[in-house]
Amino acid sequence: MQEFVQVDAFADRPFCGNPAAVLVMDAPADAAWMQAVASEMNLSETAFCHPLPGMEKGNVGEWELRWFTPTVEVDLCGHATLATAHVLATEHGAEGEMGFHTRSGRLSAIVEDDTIRLDFPVDVIESCEVGTAMSDAVGTRVLAAAKGATDLLVEVGGAAEVRSCNPDMAGIAGLAPRGVIVTAACDDRDDMDVVSRFFAPRTGIPEDPV
How does pLDDT run across 137-155, given as a tens digit for each residue? 999 999 999 999 999 999 9
CA–CA dist 169, 209 (Å, integer):
16
Question: Is the pLDDT score of 58 beyond 80?
Answer: no
Sign of CA dihedral 57, 12, 45, 117: negative
Q: To the nearest whole number, what is the mean pLDDT of the chain? A: 93
Question: Is the pLDDT score of 60 beyond 60?
Answer: no
Helix and strand element counts for the chain (H, E): 5, 13
| pTM of the complete model | 0.90
Question: Is the pLDDT score of 181 beyond 70?
Answer: yes
* Average pLDDT rounded to a whole number, residues 61-79: 96
CA–CA dist 163, 184 (Å, integer):
10
* Average pLDDT rounded to a whole number, residues 127-132: 95
Confidence of residue 1 (pLDDT cuts 50, 70, 90): confident
Confidence of residue 61 (pLDDT cuts 50, 70, 90): confident
* Average pLDDT rounded to a whole number, residues 162-178: 96
Question: Is the pLDDT score of 74 beyond 90?
Answer: yes
Q: Which domains does the chain have, with CATH numbers?
A: 5-119 (3.10.310.10), 126-203 (3.10.310.10)
Catalytic residue, candidates 3, 40, 45, 95: 45
The rounded percent of the chain whose pLDDT value lies above 70 is: 97
pLDDT of amino acid 55 = 63
Residue 126 annotated as catalytic: no
CA distances for 59 relative to 31, 89, 93, 110, 196, angstroms: 25, 10, 7, 13, 37
Question: Is the pLDDT score of 119 beyond 50?
Answer: yes
pLDDT of amino acid 94 = 87
CA–CA dist 21, 43 (Å, integer):
7
How does pLDDT run across 78-87, given as a tens digit for each residue? 999 999 999 9
How does pLDDT run across 81-116, given as a tens digit for each residue? 999 999 999 998 888 999 999 999 999 999 988 899
Question: Is the pLDDT score of 24 beyond 90?
Answer: yes
